[in-house]
Amino acid sequence: MNIASDFKVQRPAFLSEHPKELFIDGKWTPAISGETFETINPSNGQVLARIAAGAAPDVAMAASAARRAFEGPWSHFTPYERQACILKLADLVDRHFDELSLLDSLEMGAPLSRLRANSHKRAIGRLRFYAGLATAIHGQTIENSASREMFTYTAREPIGVVGAIIPWNAPLTSAIWKIGPALATGCTVVLKPAEQASLSCLRLAELIIEAGVPSGVVNVITGFGESAGAALAQHADVDKIAFTGSHFVGQKIIQASAGNLKRVTLELGGKSPDIVFADADLDKAVMGAAMGVFGNTGQVCCAGTRLFVERSIYDEFIARVAKFGSDLVVGDGLDPKTQIGPVVSKEQLDRILSYIQIGLDEGATTLSGGKRMLDAPLANGYFLPPTVFGSVKDDMRIVREEIFGPVVCAIPFDTMDEVERRANATPFGLGSGIWTRDVKKVHRLAKSIKAGSVWVNCYNVMDPAVPFGGNKLSGYGREGGVEHVDDYLNTKSVWINYN
Ligand code: ADP
């Protein structure tokens, strides 16, 4: 295993120069309770900052600020003016990306070098995409048969106040995926970042004001899920919840939203199949399958965690995936050599390790990884090497349940019918992969796999214009793509009788 070390530590100005309070109505505001919590750097276990712990009374303040902005200044912005704000925000995010990505890397451990390449493109690309949509929203004129002297048109109206609840695995780009469509449609937002990673969302809130968006349009309530998140999900004056996270919390959100029948969209977890046929370009497939599960230290909702490999190449292929994983450089997110950072927290590390133990107890064997990395300089961080399980059975918990760490179950298969059935034998339906040169296999599986995305000879590729989301326990609603804004809009039908 390669371990990165020896790099220059940077400390973003935001940590010392800005308050880490709630951002309500354009102002920094301490939590009404006065409570705070620590945010920890998972690369070394050190405290980065203390952050305000918002709760129900703070959520109520933020929701009423968002309502005032929705009905007041923001409602006077034309689509063109909203577009101009989003484009300016894209420029500001671009200009401050070194700082924003440093905050994310420090707080959740992702390699800074990867954030500054992939996430930079994602963040700016998404904002510019939603800017384009801001001036493209329109209703229809509909000929109706009720009367010859009557016509109908539809208007698309912003749904109102959106509660956005996001996880920690991609804080900045997740926030943009909720805020972008809200700004494009004229909605307002109360954003609840994950308690493990709030800093880039707070900095983003300041940039949103700098971009010319009125105070109160985007508010940020930091804090815990059971208090701040739950209060947002049940608040009677919030019209929609856009949630990304686990299906357990997704189910709670649906229940909490029932009081005022909020619109809910859910992007939840997965146990995605990645299927490799013997005829594939195996060099590409090894790298694609490995990074499809080890990338972001496996903390990706659509990670290809069930790796089905045709039996004739199984032994060779999984040995190569194990070696690829073992050759990746694990280290502090700030080290330019790091390819795999730590997992986000001690709690998450313990959860993954307990799954590894469950797998071993159930009779699976590890081909690589499986143990916490405790040698210097990683001893105080939450590091786990890429881990490959073989000898697994479909009914094992490690094959059925989402682990959310750098752990893959490698499973041999013999026939197309068999792999089709086993790939779909999951309550989830988020991502999937197919590696083959045979177009017939591609089309058959692309049709029969029950998942929101099918990647063929690639994995986890994203583009702002392409919808992403799940079926079954992986949730509903799509983020990205032109239809994304539909979930932020109501349709009004207007009947005009000119008789
Ligand atoms: P993960 O497993 O990725 O941490 P979670 O679903 O636990 O995902 O958390 C995702 C987001 O949901 C976080 O912002 C968290 O604080 C929030 N959250 C957790 N519990 C609740 C809840 N009961 N109601 C609303 N939000 C919650």
Please write the tens of the pLDDT for every residue from 343-357.
999 999 999 999 999
pLDDT, mean of residues 298-312: 98
Measured CA to CA in angstroms, residue 289 lies from 298, 317, 360, 432, 434 at distances of: 12, 10, 22, 11, 10
| Ligand 1 pocket check for 253: Cβ under 6 Å | yes
Strand 240-244 to 263-267 pairing: parallel
Q: Residue 267 catalytic?
A: yes
Q: Which atom of ligand 1 is nearest to the CA of 167?
A: 10
Indicate the burial class of 34 (C-beta count within 10 angstroms; 0-12, 13-18, 19 or more).
Answer: exposed
Ligand 1 centroid, distance to 52 Cα (angstroms): 17
Ligand 1 centroid, distance to 393 Cα (angstroms): 30
The pLDDT tens digits for 206-229 are 999 999 999 999 999 999 999 999
The pLDDT tens digits for 105-161 are 999 999 999 999 999 999 999 999 999 999 999 999 999 899 989 999 999 999 999
pLDDT, mean of residues 70-95: 98
- pLDDT value of position 2: 52
Pick the CATH number of 2-268+476-493 from 3.40.50.2000, 1.20.1090.10, 3.40.605.10, 3.40.50.300: 3.40.605.10
Ligand 1 centroid, distance to 331 Cα (angstroms): 27
| Ligand 1 pocket check for 301: Cβ under 6 Å | no
Strand 150-158 to 141-142 pairing: antiparallel
- pLDDT value of position 284: 98
Q: Which residues of 210-219 are buried (b: 16+ CB within 10 A; e: fewer)?
A: ebebbbbbbb
3-state secondary structure 32-96: CCCCEEEEEECCCCEEEEEEECCCHHHHHHHHHHHHHHHHCHHHHCCHHHHHHHHHHHHHHHHHC
What length does the chain have? 499
> Which of 451, 481, 436 is closest to 304 using CA atoms?
451
Question: How high does pLDDT run on average in the chain?
Answer: 96
| Ligand 1 pocket check for 233: Cβ under 6 Å | yes
Q: For ligand 1, atom 13, name the residue with the nearest CA.
A: 194
Maximum Cα–Cα distance across the chain? 83
pLDDT confidence tier of residue 499, bands split at 50, 70 and 90: confident
pLDDT confidence tier of residue 16, bands split at 50, 70 and 90: confident
Pick the CATH number of 273-463 from 3.40.50.2300, 3.40.50.2020, 3.40.309.10, 3.20.20.80: 3.40.309.10
Q: Which atom of ligand 1 is nearest to the CA of 252?
A: 23
Measured CA to CA in angstroms, residue 71 lies from 180, 222, 473 at distances of: 19, 24, 35
Ligand 1 centroid, distance to 84 Cα (angstroms): 33
- pLDDT value of position 44: 95
Q: Which of 187, 201, 301, 409 is catalytic?
A: 301
Strand 365-368 to 489-497 pairing: unpaired
How close are the terminal C-alpha atoms of the chain, in Å?
80
Q: For ligand 1, atom 21, name the residue with the nearest CA.
A: 225
Query: Within 10 A of 31 (CB to CB), how many other CB atoms are there?
Result: 22
**DSSP-based three-state secondary structure for 298:** helix
Q: What percent of the chain shows pLDDT beyond 90?
A: 95
Strand 387-390 to 365-368 pairing: antiparallel
pLDDT, mean of residues 358-365: 98
The pLDDT tens digits for 428-468 are 999 999 999 999 999 999 999 999 999 999 999 999 999 99
- pLDDT value of position 9: 65
- pLDDT value of position 133: 98
The pLDDT tens digits for 95-108 are 999 999 999 999 99
Q: Half-sphere exposure of 444 toward its Cβ, with a 13 Å CA cutoff?
A: 12
pLDDT, mean of residues 67-79: 98
> Are the beta carbons of 209 and 74 closer than 8 angstroms?
no
The pLDDT tens digits for 379-430 are 999 999 999 999 999 999 999 999 999 999 999 999 999 999 999 999 999 9
Ligand 1 centroid, distance to 225 Cα (angstroms): 5
- pLDDT value of position 257: 97
Q: Which atom of ligand 1 is nearest to the CA of 223?
A: 16
The torsion angle over the Cα atoms of residues 416, 419, 421 and 422, rounded to 10 degrees, is 170
> Which of 51, 35, 46, 21 is closest to 334 using CA atoms?
46
Q: Residue 301 catalytic?
A: yes
pTM of the entire structure? 0.97
Ligand 1 centroid, distance to 194 Cα (angstroms): 7
Query: Within 10 A of 59 (CB to CB), how many other CB atoms are there?
Result: 28
| Ligand 1 pocket check for 245: Cβ under 6 Å | yes
Domain boundaries of the chain, sorted by first residue: 2-268+476-493, 273-463
- pLDDT value of position 10: 73
pLDDT, mean of residues 16-34: 94
| Ligand 1 pocket check for 192: Cβ under 6 Å | yes
- pLDDT value of position 11: 82
Most ligand 1 atoms within 8 A of CB, residue of 37, 108, 165 to mutate: 165
- pLDDT beyond 90 at 299: yes
pLDDT, mean of residues 259-264: 98
> Which of 361, 376, 368, 362 is closest to 406 using CA atoms?
368
- pLDDT beyond 50 at 4: no
> Which of 434, 432, 455 is closest to 301 using CA atoms?
432
Paired strand residues for 434: 275, 456
- pLDDT value of position 19: 84
pLDDT confidence tier of residue 18, bands split at 50, 70 and 90: confident
